[in-house]
């Protein structure tokens, strides 16, 4: 009977330790779609500002912002859906609509003037919303946000990303690339 108490105490300690650690494992490693998304062509979404040029038509050449619903408002043709399209797909769609009674052979080019923001939270110097720069890594984004706090875990970070219309969260290395619109969360280290 004297041995029953230590075994019971050990079982209770192990159970509480496993429950405590299960909270740390709530995020899984990033799914394969995370790495595949970084090599796909850039797709437009709310918050992107586009520089659209229609050659020989200066009145239509301007900057346009993709609104919350995923549309841009373009002269003569009205609302044009932009969400989920590449800039090349959108320029083809605008040219096609302009051919329908407005211009004979429109030549439309689209450049991204300003990408949608990235959001950095958790154990960083200054959490907040920051401008995305193509080629940015998790480590670059953390540096822009004031670097790691003294309590930060510096090995990896949790990223929430919209991929093919689905929001996914996964744990990635700090050397992994950032995509426009990502939310980066730097966790607190345990010790």
- pLDDT (mean) for 162-170: 89
- Residue 4 gets which letter from DSSP? H
Strand 118-122 relative to strand 183-186, pairing: parallel
Q: Is the pLDDT of residue 137 over 60?
A: yes
Per the listing, tokens 């050990």 go with: 10
Q: Is the pLDDT of residue 13 over 80?
A: no
State residue 134 phi and psi, 5-degree precision.
-55, 140
Q: Is the pLDDT of residue 21 over 50?
A: no
Q: Is the pLDDT of residue 9 over 70?
A: no
Q: Is the pLDDT of residue 14 over 70?
A: no
Which pLDDT belongs to residue 169?
92
| pLDDT band at residue 154 using 50, 70 and 90 as cut-offs | very high
Rounded to two decimals, what is the model's pTM? Answer: 0.79
pLDDT in tens, 44-58: 999 999 999 999 888
| pLDDT band at residue 20 using 50, 70 and 90 as cut-offs | very low
- Cα separation, 73 vs 67, in Å, equals 9
């Amino acid at each position: 009977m004297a041995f029953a108490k230590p075994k019971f105490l050990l079982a209770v300690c192990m159970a509480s330790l496993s429950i405590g650690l299960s909270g740390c494992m709530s995020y899984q490693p990033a799914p394969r779609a995370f790495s595949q998304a970084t090599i796909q062509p850039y797709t437009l979404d709310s918050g992107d500002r586009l520089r659209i040029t229609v050659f020989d038509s200066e009145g239509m050449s301007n900057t346009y912002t993709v609104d919350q619903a995923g549309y841009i408002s373009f002269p003569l043709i009205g609302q044009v859906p932009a969400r989920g399209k590449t800039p090349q797909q959108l320029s083809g769609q605008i040219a096609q609509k302009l051919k329908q009674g407005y211009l004979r052979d429109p030549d439309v080019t689209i450049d991204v003037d300003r990408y949608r923001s990235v959001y950095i939270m958790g154990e960083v110097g200054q959490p907040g919303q920051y401008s995305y720069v193509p080629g940015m890594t998790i480590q670059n984004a953390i540096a822009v946000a004031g670097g790691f706090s003294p309590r930060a875990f510096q090995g990896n970070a949790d990223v929430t990303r919209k991929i093919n219309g689905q929001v996914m969260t996964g744990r990635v290395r700090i050397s992994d690339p950032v995509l426009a619109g990502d939310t980066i969360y730097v966790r607190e280290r345990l010790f």
